[in-house]
Homo-oligomer: A and B are copies of this chain.
Amino acid sequence: MTSPASLTHSQWIYRKQPLGQIGAEHYELLRRPLDTTLDEGEVLIEARWFSVDPYMRIGQSSKPTYDSAPHPLDTVQAGAVVARVLASRAPGYAAGDWVSAYSGWQSHARLRADALTRLDPQQAPLTAALGVLGMPGRTAWFGLTEAGRPHAGEVVVVSGAAGAVGSLVLQFAKRHGARVLGIAGGAAKCAWLRDTLGADWAIDYKAHPDAASLGAAILALTGGVDVYFDNVGGMVTDAVIPLINRRARIVICGQISQYSGGLETPELGPRLLHHLLYQRATIQGVLARDYLHRMDEMRRIVAPWVRDGRIIFEETVIEGFEQLPHALNSLFTGEHRGKLLVQA
């Protein structure tokens, strides 16, 4: 281990609200010598894997979202990390321990011990704490089971199905006995959904010029939709909503098609609420934080599946701390599968 005293503290500072894609003007990389001072009860951590999540774009909206104010400018971009303890003045933590924390896009952080979650590398891969056993896994599990409530034999459609949450929802729905259609961008992702994740069907939405064409393809495969787990919104959702069956459950987990400007000034799309009336269907928004106190319920069921390899948890790892803003952009445009991480 490098001596803490000789280390550089690198931080990505959020400087300016992006209205579309993220560019060089929105984040600034600061570097300075690391201050290794610790007060009693504090721990110094070095982040090794950084989570890159769609919700980061929601926090950049100037409108109220799930938080009353946007991510503050001129502060470190918030986010979850997996980190190693470099030094500790807190009982129970020692150099070399692995933890997860919410210290954001910076190489190091000085935190009180109660801001850390201890990780056991023997129980699961460390990065699972940012994925299947962390926020995305919790979102997928509770979003599907509490709001989607799939039954055996029902048709579950997942948008963003190759993403961190979608790829888990697809597999969790299969375990419930549902017939599952994954919607993703590109033939390669669709092949992966079918061949590796076990989707009954997969559709490349990019192969369709409009919602009518996509909807016809979905209807031809499924005959109708009982549960729609939506990570994407926009044209894909326009295609699915007219196909809902009686008492369908639509879960709004994300609307990533709208995160590059559409939260600020809404896009126009077809009015579709009348379909809810016809089918007496439900739309429910879900958010990971509402289920944080119930992590043990999810881990009890899902952790053994991860340990035994019965759940595929794909990660796409981009090397280099300096790639973080680029990685955030590529969440919305890139070819990654599963959970997107940046490794320092």
Say which residue of B234, B252, B271, B274 sits within 8 Å of A276 (CB atoms). Answer: B252
- Quick check: A280 and B286 within 8 Å, CB to CB? yes
Among A233, A268, A274, max chain B CB count under 10 A is at A274
CB <8 Å contact, B280 and A290: yes
Interfacial residues of chain A within 53-93, with CB under 8 A of chain B in the complex: 58, 63-66
A287 & B277 in contact (Cβ 8 Å cutoff)? yes
A258 located at the interface, meaning its Cβ lies under 8 Å from any Cβ of chain B in the complex: yes
Indicate whether A317 reaches chain B with its CB closer than 8 angstroms. Answer: no
Contacts of A237 in B (CB 8 A): 273
Indicate if the CB atoms of A283 and B286 lie closer than 8 Å.
Answer: no
Interface size classification for chain A: 35 or more
Q: Are B262 and A277 in contact (CB under 8 A)?
A: no
Please, which residues of chain B bring their CB within 8 A of the CB of A271? 233-234, 255, 258, 262, 266-269
Asked if B270 and A276 sit within 8 Å, CB to CB, the answer is: no
A152 to chain B, nearest CB (A): 24
A279 at the interface (CB under 8 A from B): yes
Bound form: Cα–Cα A287–B276 in Å: 10
Is A207 in contact with chain B by the CB < 8 A criterion?
A: no
CB distance from A160 to the nearest CB of B (A): 13
Query: Which residue of B has the minimal Cβ distance to A273?
Result: B252
Residues of B within 8 A of A255 (CB): 271, 273-274, 277
Residue pair A283, B283 in contact (C-beta under 8 Å): yes
Interface mask (A278-291 → B, CB under 8 Å = 1, otherwise 0): 11111111110010
The one of B64, B65, B278, B283 in contact with A273, judged by C-beta atoms closer than 8 angstroms, is: B283
Interface residues of A (CB under 8 A from B): 58, 63-66, 230, 233-234, 237, 242, 252-255, 258, 262-263, 266-287, 290
